[in-house]
Every structure is written in C-alpha cells, then in structure tokens.
Structure 1
Amino acid sequence: MGQTVSISFFRFGSLRHRLWALWMMGAARLSLSRLPDLGFWKLCGSGTGEGFTPLPNTAVYAVIATWPNESVARARILESRVFERYRTKAAETWTVFLAPLSSRGEWSGSQPFVPAGADQASEKDERHRPMAALTRATIRPSILMRFWRRVPDISSAIGQDRNVAFKIGLGEVPWLHQVTFSIWPDALKMAQFARTGAHAEAIQAVRSEGWFREELYARFEVTSDVGTWDGSSPLEVLK
C-alpha cells in the first residue's frame, strides 16, 4: 500500500465563518505542522465560478495533504482537532482520497506525490478507472495578464465537458500560485480534454513562452471519498 493524497474541501456560509476560514489560512499552519503522519500539506483558497478565475471565492477553502496510507489519512482527518474545527464551522465538507500514479515537477521545491510503482496499473486498466489530474504552477509576474486572458476559454471548455465529474481552481497566493484539480471517468477522457482546444493551446504557450517559474503535473487514481459537495458525492456520477 503506497502513499495516499487527500484533498478536503470546505464550504462556509456566514460572513463570520468565512472570516474564520480566511484567518485559518495562517492560523492552521502550526496545528498541521504538528499532526502525526502528515507529510506534505498546503492550505488553499479558491476562485469564483468554476474556480478558474482571478477573483477569490471567500466561501470555499481546501487542505491538500499526503499520508502513509488511506487508513491513516481517514483516521487523522476524522480525529484530529484541526480538521474537526473546519468541519464544525463549515456548511458542507467533502474529502477525496487519491493514489498517485505519476508526478513530474516540483511544488515549493519538493516532489510531494510519490507513485507506488512505475504506474502500477497498465494503460488498459487506467481506461476503466476514475482518474484525477492536479496541476500546480507559480506564474511569472511578467505574464500574469496573458495567463489570465487564457483562463476564461479553458474554464468554458472544461465547464461544458460532460465527462468531467468535478473541477475546481485553487491557489495558495491569489493570481501567482495556481492549482487546478479535476476528476474524470478514465485516463482516455482526461487526455482527450488535455490535448485539444483552449487547454492544449495554453500548454503550448507555457512551453514556448516560459510562463511558469515552477510547475507540477500529477495524475491519481480516485480511491474513495467521504462527505458531500453540492448535496451529494461528486463520485456518484462515475458509478
């Protein structure tokens, strides 16, 4: 059994709870740094709409974390005081558990996601398993305007794609540090989106114009989840 990655999403209702969540972007760091078995972790805010916009969404926050395995991940998220505080304040919470399949690049100078093997399953197997994609980048300040001009076309394309089960844009620092996360029925449908249209054009620009100072691309098998988002599990549509 290899590394498990958890992404916990929290939606806050009242202004008081939203302000608390914003405050926790700094205050939760000490608690998380002391949490047993927790490896790499990041606190993230989100964007408005689909999440792929430069305007912050003050209602939605996320915690990305790595653990030795899924049983440990579930226990720590369920039992630790810091995650309990988030659940108590939030109007809705959802955590998805992931097994890394591949990862290239760095995040804050490290390689946080560790596949258990050289893509444990075959490409044939991947075609029939729910998959997730995560990208993270530090955007060069000199190209911020060009980057954000591209985003609406990508957001529109992913929003209209009936294959995507879940998608959101996150960020550690607004405008400069960006994370995208999406869940797909299988690797084939994920690849079809990545290689066509506005998304493919943006990737080509990234490569040719050097948009990012640091970047990471990772793929995961979706193993399980707990909680709801918009009233149900986003994984229900994949069953």
Structure 2
Amino acid sequence: MSNLTDRPERSGAIQTVSLSFYRFSRGIDRLWALAMMGAARLSLPRVPGIGFWKLLGSGTGEGFTPLPDTGVYAILAVWPDAATARQQTATAPIFRRYLARAAESWTVLLAPISARGKWSGQAPFSAPDTTAPAGPVAALTRATLRPHKALRFWRRVPGISKVIGSNPDVAFKIGVGEVPLLHQVTFSIWPDTRSMAEFARRDGPHARAITAVRDGDWFREELYARFTVIGESGRWGGDSPLRTIKGQP
C-alpha cells in the first residue's frame, strides 16, 4: 500500500473519515471477506482512536444495483484527526488482514464540510462551520429504505446511475451498503463544489428521484454529508481515482 498523497490539511485536530475499498479476486478470499462482514465487528471497536465505523458491501457494476458484488467490500471509519486515520488504516491488524487478502485496495481520507441527518441513530460526522476549501470534494448519502418503498426506489436507480456515469466531472462513484436492498450508501468524488452542486440542481432522473423521495416518504432514516478530500493511498482500477481531476499528481 503506497503512502498517502495528502492535500494541505487545515490546522488543528480535524475529524477525519476514512473510506477503504477492497477488491477480492479469488473465491476463497471472497468467502473470507463475506465472513468478515460479521467477524470484523469484533475487531474494529478495538482499534485505537476509532469512533463510528461501518462494514459495507457493494452492488454489481459500480455498486448501483440491488445485486451484491461478492468481490468488493468497504470499511468506513471516523477518527479524531488525519494522522490517526493514516496510521491505523495502514497498520491496525484488522486493516492489514484486509490488505493482505485483497487483490486491490484504495483508501480515501475525508474532512467533513457539512452533514445532516442520522446513521443508525447517530450523527457521526462533525462538520465545522466553515467555507469549503478549494479542491476535490466528496458526497455521501445514506438511507434506510422503508421496505414497502424499496421497489420504487430501485426502479429509479438505473436512470440515476446512467446520468452520473455520463457526467465527465465525476472522478469516482460507487454504491455500497450495510444490508442489501434496504440500507444504501452512495459515494462520489467531484473536482469542486461547483460541479457537484450543478449536478444536484440539474433536472433529470436524480432531481426527480429526490422529489419522489420527499413526496413519498421513502426513507425511514437518512443522512447527507459533504467532505473535502485530504488524502488517498492505494489504487482502484489500476490507478488513483483522483488522477482524472485536473491538478492531481
């Protein structure tokens, strides 16, 4: 795993969120990763400095489908600062076990810009009341679907995925979740806040889905968070996903 290539960080201890993705190619490693969706729950709380954390599976393709991908998993974790996040995602035994098994892995470090809503009854991200800095930004949405609304939600997903996939500004996108069909997380990285905001405001499948969600009360719980990207390590698809963003090394 390569050293983190960091962007300049704000002074002081800033809450840092790590999102680590792992791709497993061999069948035995995929079975191991599936089993760790339960077993890792015993190890993650013991990692020094870790706060809120979640084990996440993925859908097929780029994750925006209800069909699980048995080869891609992720760990989201909250840390008191970037130094702790950097050290523990690289050296903590549970993270090293994932790294040893994975055919490919990528970790991105994030500093919260804004957050509203709850995740498993908690508000996990502490966002300072400051203006978002220049540079790459990430968007994370998490929702618990009401079971009787799930079919309507998943009917909307192909259209949204197609629009995001055709947007040249998106550096990285993936759909993950804790429970297939019902607990869903979307994560995307954009060159700046302007491009992200333009997509959110643009009329199309995404905007219409948001309206339907509000009007139909589809979600039992939801969270929306924005982050500045402050570091990364590893590769995904053979390269850094941030490579496509102008100005990245």
TM-score for the superposition, normalised by structure 2? 0.92
1:142 aligns with 2:154: no
1:217 is aligned to 224
CA offset at residue 195 of structure 1?
1.6
- The count of residues paired between Structure 1 and Structure 2 equals 233
* Pair 1:83-2:95 in alignment: yes
CA contact (8 A) 1:45 1:62 kept: yes
Distance 1:192 1:153 in 2: 17
Q: Aligned equivalents of 2:89 and 2:62: distance in 1?
A: 26
SS of 1:172's equivalent? strand
Q: Look up the equivalent residue of 2:197 and give its one-letter code.
A: A
Q: Is the partner of 2:179 in helix, strand or coil?
A: coil
**AA at the equivalent of 1:121:** T
Question: Which residue, 13, 36, 44 being the options, matches 1:24?
Answer: 36
Residue deviations 1:39-76 (CA, integer Å, cap 9, x gap): 00000000111210000011100000000111111111
Match for 1:96 among 81, 88, 108? 108
2-structure distance, mates of 1:193, 1:142: 29
Report if aligned partners of 1:50, 1:159 keep a CA contact under 8 Å in 2: no
User: Which 4+ stretches in 1 moved above 2 angstroms?
Assistant: none
User: Among 136, 156, 178, which residue is 1:172 paired with?
Assistant: 178
The answer for unaligned runs of 5 or more in structure 1 is none
Percent identity reads 61
Q: For 1:192 and 1:46, locate their aligned partners in 2 and report how far apart those are by CA, in whole Å.
A: 27
Q: How many Å separate the matches in 2 of 1:48 and 1:193?
A: 23
Contact kept? 1:13, 1:59, Cα under 8 Å: yes
Residue number in structure 1 paired with 2:55: 43
Q: Is contact 1:9–1:95 with CA below 8 Å preserved after alignment?
A: yes
Tell me the TM-score normalized by structure 1: 0.96
What's the RMSD between the two structures over aligned residues? 0.8
Question: Superposition pairs for residues 1-239 of structure 1, below 5 Å?
Answer: 1-115=13-127, 117-118=128-129, 120-121=130-131, 126=133, 128-196=134-202, 197-238=204-245, 239=248
Q: CA deviation at 1:78?
A: 1.3
What per-residue deviation string (whole Å, max 9, x for no partner) do you get for residues 133-179 of structure 1? 00000000111111000000001000111100000000100000000
Letter in 1 for 2:110: L
Query: Which amino acid in the other structure matches residue 58 of structure 1?
Result: T
